[in-house]
């Protein structure tokens, strides 16, 4: 019952359509009953009494009944489809907009393929459930009742006999429902494996080719689809087995009815017309009974996807703060900050204490995996510190709204993320509706204008998925232009110049220097030549600040920084 209530709660906003669809379905049920009803005059009056006037009227009535069935079935299907499609559309939109509000940590645990599968496959399962259950429940339910009514009217004793077998069928079908739920849960998992696999392998097509792994990948895919095939066949067996039970039980009932009814006719207790009408009703009740039996199985089948979607909807989203953070005036401060990734055991940052004054340029260097990106990620609150707090002007950023906090940052991430849109749209991503002069100015500042101007469609060039049609350095310059256009008070540059050649790096470096003026900047770089000019350099070692000072101070100190620096320059000199 709880399942049915849930379904009705879902369709409530679309009730006018649903009610009309149900009404149309009820008319179809009535027409079905009329068909059985008319079997009696057809037999007794036309065939036996040879009534010529009825011979004209009856076929006409039959034609009208069939026509009516067609028309009202059309209305019913159309209305029901529009209600369920509409519901699914809104549901899917809600699911997507909710899912992108989830914290980054959630996406670390759930693959993008899984997410895609939820939004596409699970929601489709929901749609099937709605259109089938609600439609069938009413139409087939009413048809069955109306036909049974005709049967009882004609011969109540025979009708009673023929429904005694019903509990038998219900029991069999009910026990299949539970199995169906298990199978369907597995089938849904399999389909999410398929989407997951596909989204990964198309994204990694270059590596697949480079390592000649096509055959291997095709083999893995075949395994996954074979699993899915097996689960589907299992599901088909169960649901068709339910149909088979109904078939067998129904056959038993009808065989008995014919035997018993035949005897009544032979003894002259019942007319042939009554019997024909009764039999027609019983035959016609058959299809709706079978479908009703399958509704329960359908509901069991739709339960796992519904549960999964509900689980996603109940995930806590990113906790937005309530206060608007004013633009930075004095400083950013890390107060005894430690951080552990949810999926990791070790701390990525240990007790970081750091004060960055407004307008300062801070460079963060250190070995790979030292925690540089992690440190930068805490600033726009991509992640929340496990201990301690990050403050801007002594306000804990966890109390600030995302819009007021993230609006202050321009971020050039380590992995360049671009969207499959035009160059102009990608640059203006953080400032929709920017004037084209602004976009060009930003591109010029990022030394991207020249290569863009050489493209056949210039700023209107589509760059392909994740910017596939551009070179690595070009992509990086676009992401710098994107940060420049936003014109934020705080800049985070994570390896912003790592894929540029030395000549363009120097140019971009100049551009960034212009950009850094009057801004607070956090630069993460492996190439130490790019960090020499920073006001302060921090060396992060295993999540701790090991050294801090200017280039001169740190070099003179002869610690980690000197080692890193010497290593890099001796390597360059040998090259
Ligand atoms: N999403 C994540 N989930 C779990 N652990 C992570 C995650 N991202 C990073 N780590 C771990 O946290 C530590 C610090 O990683 P981080 O990305 O901050 O290093 P980094 O200093 O930026 O290195 P690189 O110079 O290579 O970019 C590493 O040990 C890494 O394995
Ligand atoms: Mg990093």
pLDDT in tens, 403-451: 999 999 988 888 888 898 899 999 999 888 889 999 999 999 888 898 8
- Ligand 1 probe mutation, 107, 340, 344, most atoms within 8 A of CB: 344
**Residue that is last in its domain, among 292, 314, 336:** 314
Cα separation, 448 vs 480, whole angstroms? 9
Q: Is residue 288 within a helix (H) or strand (E), and if so which, with residue range? A: helix 272-314
Calpha distance 552→545 (Å, rounded): 18
Average pLDDT for residues 388-392, to the nearest whole number? 92
In a domain, 423, yes or no: no
Distances (CA, A) of 444 to 2, 244, 447, 449, 480: 62, 73, 5, 5, 11
CA of 364 to the centre of ligand 1 (A): 14
Q: Are residues 283 and 341 in the same domain?
A: no
Mean pLDDT of 515-538: 82
Q: Which of 250, 284, 314 is the last residue of a domain?
A: 314
Angle in degrees, CA 296, 299, 300, rounded to 5: 90
Cβ neighbours, 10 Å, residue 116: 15
524 Cα–ligand 2 center, Å: 8
Averaged confidence pLDDT in the chain: 85
| CA 545 / ligand 1 centre spacing (Å) | 15
Query: For residue 272, is pLDDT > 90?
Result: no
Q: Is position 455 within any domain?
A: no
Q: Is the pLDDT of residue 133 over 90?
A: no
Which residue among 111, 338, 349, 369 has the greatest number of ligand 1 atoms within 8 angstroms of its CB, and so is best to mutate? 369
C-alpha angle with apex 498: 497 to 504, nearest 5 degrees?
50
Residue owning the nearest CA to atom 30 of ligand 1: 369
Q: Which of 348, 412, 546 to probe ligand 1 with, by most ligand atoms within 8 A of CB?
A: 348
Q: How far is the CA of 110 from the centre of ligand 1 (A)?
A: 18
- Mention every residue, 6+ apart, whose C-beta is less than 8 A from residue 75: 20, 21, 24
- The answer to whether 334 and 352 have CB atoms below 8 angstroms apart is yes
What is the per-residue pLDDT for 217?
Answer: 94
Largest CA distance in the chain: 121
Confidence of residue 335 (pLDDT cuts 50, 70, 90): very high
Ligand 1 centroid to Cα of residue 373, in Å, is 7
Convert the pLDDT of each residue in 419-430 to its tens digit.
988 999 999 998
Count Cβ atoms below 10 Å from residue 435 Cβ, excluding itself.
Answer: 10
Which residue has the least CA distance to atom 12 on ligand 1? 348
Ligand 1 centroid – CA 416 distance (Å): 16
Protein residue with least CA distance to atom 28, ligand 1: 369
Q: Give, in order, the Cα–Cα distances in Å from 172 to each of 144, 182, 257, 288, 356.
A: 19, 17, 22, 17, 72
Residue scoring higher pLDDT (164 or 529):
164
Picking from 314, 341, 375, the residue at the C-terminal end of a domain is 314
Least confident of 354-368, 526-540, 543-557, 561-575: 561-575
Say yes or no: 222 and 349 in one domain.
Answer: no
User: Which residues does ligand 1 sit against, CB inside 6 Å?
Assistant: 108, 341, 343-344, 348, 368-374, 414
**Count of domains observed in the chain:** 2
Residue 237, pLDDT above cutoff 80:
yes
- Please report the pLDDT score of residue 420 as a whole number: 87
Q: What is the pLDDT of residue 72?
A: 94
User: Residue 549 half-sphere exposure, CB side, CA atoms within 13 Å?
Assistant: 14
28 contacts: CB under 8 Å, gap ≥ 6: 68, 69, 72, 73, 76, 139, 143
Give the model confidence (pLDDT) of 72-97 as tens digits: 999 998 998 888 888 888 889 988 99
CA of 343, nearest ligand number: 1
Band of the pLDDT at 571, cuts 50, 70, 90?
low
303 and 388 share a domain? no
- pLDDT at 249 (0 to 100): 80
> Is the separation of the CB atoms in 492 and 522 below 8 Å?
yes
Residue 451: Cβ-neighbour burial (10 angstroms; 0-12, 13-18, 19+): middle
CA of 205 from ligand 2 middle (Å) equals: 24
Instruction: Indicate the range of 245-259, 435-449, 479-493, 559-573 predicted with least confidence.
Output: 559-573
Q: In this structure, what are the phi and psi dihedrals at residue 120, rounded to the nearest 5 degrees?
A: -95, -65
C-beta of residue 541 within 8 angstroms of C-beta of residue 382: no
Domain co-membership, 331 together with 281: no
392: pLDDT confidence band, cut at 50, 70 and 90?
very high
pLDDT in tens, 16-51: 988 898 899 889 989 988 888 888 888 888 778 888
Q: pLDDT-based confidence at 573, cuts 50/70/90?
A: low
300 with 327, same domain: the answer is no
Are 328 and 307 members of one domain?
Answer: no
Q: Decide if 334 contacts 345 (C-beta within 8 A).
A: no
**pLDDT exceeds cutoff 60 at 575:** no
Q: Any idea which ligand is nearest the CA of 105?
A: 1
Does residue 266 fall inside a structural domain? yes
State the number of CA atoms in the 13 A half-sphere of 495 facing the CB. Answer: 14
Say whether pLDDT at 464 is over 90. Answer: no
> What is the average per-residue pLDDT within 529-550?
85
Q: Do residue 21 and residue 69 come from a single domain?
A: yes
Same-domain pairing of 147 and 293 = yes
d(CA 308, CA 314): 10
Residue 172 sits in a domain of what CATH number? 1.20.1560.10
User: Among the atoms of ligand 1, which is closest to the Cα of residue 367?
Assistant: 25
Ligand 1 mean position to 327 CA, how many Å?
29
Buried b (16+ CB within 10 A) or exposed e, 283-297: ebbbbbbbbbbbbbb
Residue 499 within any structural domain of the chain: no
The confidence score (pLDDT) of residue 340 equals: 92
pLDDT at 572: 62
Q: Please give the model's pTM, rounded to 2 decimal places.
A: 0.78
Indicate if the pLDDT at residue 325 is higher than 70: yes
Percentages (nearest 5) of helix, strand, coil residues in the chain:
70, 10, 20
pLDDT score at 151: 85
Q: How far apart are CA 31 and CA 42, in angstroms?
A: 16
484-512 confidence digits (pLDDT tens): 898 889 999 888 777 677 777 777 777 77
Residue 337 β-bridge partners: 352
pLDDT at 378 over 90: yes
- CATH value at residue 567: 3.40.50.300
Residue 248: pLDDT over 70:
yes
pLDDT interval class at 550 (50, 70, 90): confident
Q: Does residue 338 surpass a pLDDT of 80?
A: yes
Based on the domain organization, do 332 and 301 belong to the same domain?
no
Structural domain boundaries enclosing 551: 323-407+530-575
Give percent above pLDDT 70 in the chain: 97
- One domain, residues 239 and 128: yes
Is residue 76 domain-resident? yes
Residues in the 5 Å CB sphere of ion ligand 2? 373, 414
Question: Based on the domain organization, do 47 and 120 belong to the same domain?
Answer: yes
What single-letter DSSP state applies at residue 351?
E
- Residue 138 inside a domain? The answer is yes
Q: Which of 108, 363, 374, 530 to mutate to test the pocket of ligand 1 (most atoms within 8 A of CB)?
A: 374
Residue whose CA is at the smallest distance from ligand 1 atom 6? 341
Question: Going by DSSP bridges, is the β-strand pair 490-494/349-357 parallel, antiparallel, or unpaired?
Answer: unpaired
Looking at the structure, do residues 172 and 293 belong to the same domain, yes or no?
yes
Task: Give pLDDT, residue 203.
Answer: 83
Statement: residue 1 has pLDDT above 70 = no
E strand map for 427-542: 490-494, 520-524, 536-541
Does 304 reside within a domain?
Answer: yes
Distance from the alpha carbon of residue 218 to the mean position of ligand 2, in angstroms: 33
pLDDT confidence of residue 226:
95
The stretches of 315-384 forming alpha helices (DSSP H) are: 372-378
DSSP H helices in 469-550: 472-486, 502-516
pLDDT per residue as tens digits for the range 299-318: 877 888 888 888 888 888 88
Distances, alpha carbon 416 to alpha carbons 412, 474, 475, in Å? 7, 10, 7
Judged by DSSP in three states, 548 sits in: strand
Q: What Cα–Cα distance (Å) separates residue 412 from each residue in 37, 54, 293, 385?
A: 76, 85, 58, 21
Check if the beta carbon of residue 16 is closer than 8 Å to that of residue 82: no
CA angle 72-76-82, nearest 5°? 145
Residue 371 falls within a domain, yes or no?
yes
């Amino acid at each position: 019952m709880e399942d049915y209530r849930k379904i009705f709660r879902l369709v409530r906003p679309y009730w006018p359509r649903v009610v009309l669809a149900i009404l149309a379905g009820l008319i179809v049920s009535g027409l079905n009953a009329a068909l059985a009803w008319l079997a009696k005059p057809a037999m007794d009056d036309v065939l036996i009494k040879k009534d010529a006037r009825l011979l004209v009227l009856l076929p006409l009535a039959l034609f009208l009944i069939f026509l009516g069935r067609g028309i009202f079935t059309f209305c019913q299907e159309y209305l029901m489809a529009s209600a369920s499609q509409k519901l699914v559309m809104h549901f899917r939109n809600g699911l997507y907009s909710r899912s992108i509000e989830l914290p980054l940590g959630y996406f670390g645990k759930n693959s993008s393929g899984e997410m895609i599968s939820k939004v596409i496959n699970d929601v489709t399962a929901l749609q099937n459930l709605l259109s089938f259950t609600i439609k069938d429940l009413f139409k087939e339910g009413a048809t069955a009742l109306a036909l049974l009514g005709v049967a009882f009217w004609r011969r109540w004793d025979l009708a009673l006999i023929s429904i005694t077998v019903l509990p038998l069928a219900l029991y069999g079908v009910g026990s299949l429902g539970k199995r169906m739920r298990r199978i369907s849960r597995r089938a849904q998992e399999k389909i999410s494996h398929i989407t997951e696999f596909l989204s990964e392998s198309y994204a990694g097509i270059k590596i697949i080719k480079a390592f000649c792994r096509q055959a291997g990948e095709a083999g893995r895919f075949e395994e996954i689809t074979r699993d899915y095939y097996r689960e589907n066949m299992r599901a088909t067996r169960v649901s068709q087995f339910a149909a088979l039970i109904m078939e067998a039980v129904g056959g038993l009932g009808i065989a008995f009815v014919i035997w018993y009814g035949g005897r009544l006719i032979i003894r002259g207790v019942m007319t042939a017309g009554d019997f024909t009408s009764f039999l027609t009703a019983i035959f016609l009740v058959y299809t709706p009974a079978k479908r009703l039996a399958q509704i329960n199985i359908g509901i069991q089948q739709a339960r796992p996807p519904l549960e999964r979607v509900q689980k996603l909807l109940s995930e806590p989203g990113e906790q937005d703060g309530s206060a608007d953070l004013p633009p930075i005036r004095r400083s950013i401060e890390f107060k005894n900050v430690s951080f552990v990734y949810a999926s990791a055991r070790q701390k990525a940052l240990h007790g970081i204490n750091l004060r960055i004054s407004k307008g300062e340029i801070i460079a963060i260097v250190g070995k790979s995996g030292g925690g540089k990106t992690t440190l930068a990620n805490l600033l726009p609150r991509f992640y929340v510190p496990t201990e301690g707090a990050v403050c801007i002007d002594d306000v804990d950023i966890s109390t600030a709204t995302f819009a007021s906090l993230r609006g202050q940052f321009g971020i050039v991430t380590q992995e360049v993320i671009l969207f499959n849109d035009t160059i102009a749209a990608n640059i203006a991503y953080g400032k929709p509706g920017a004037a084209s002069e602004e976009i060009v100015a930003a591109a010029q500042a990022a030394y991207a204008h020249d290569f863009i101007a050489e493209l056949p469609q210039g700023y209107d060039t589509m760059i392909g998925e994740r910017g596939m049609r551009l070179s690595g350095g070009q992509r990086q310059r676009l992401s710098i232009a994107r940060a420049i256009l936003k014109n934020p008070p705080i800049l985070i540059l994570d390896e912003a110049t790592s894929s540029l050649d030395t000549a363009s790096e120097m140019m971009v470096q100049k551009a960034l220097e212009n950009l850094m003026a009057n801004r607070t900047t956090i630069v993460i770089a492996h190439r130490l030549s790019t960090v020499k000019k920073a006001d302060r350099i921090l060396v992060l070692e295993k999540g701790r600040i090991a050294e801090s000072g200017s280039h001169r101070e740190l070099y003179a100190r002869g610690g980690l920084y000197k080692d890193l620096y010497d290593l890099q320059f001796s390597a360059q000199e040998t090259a």
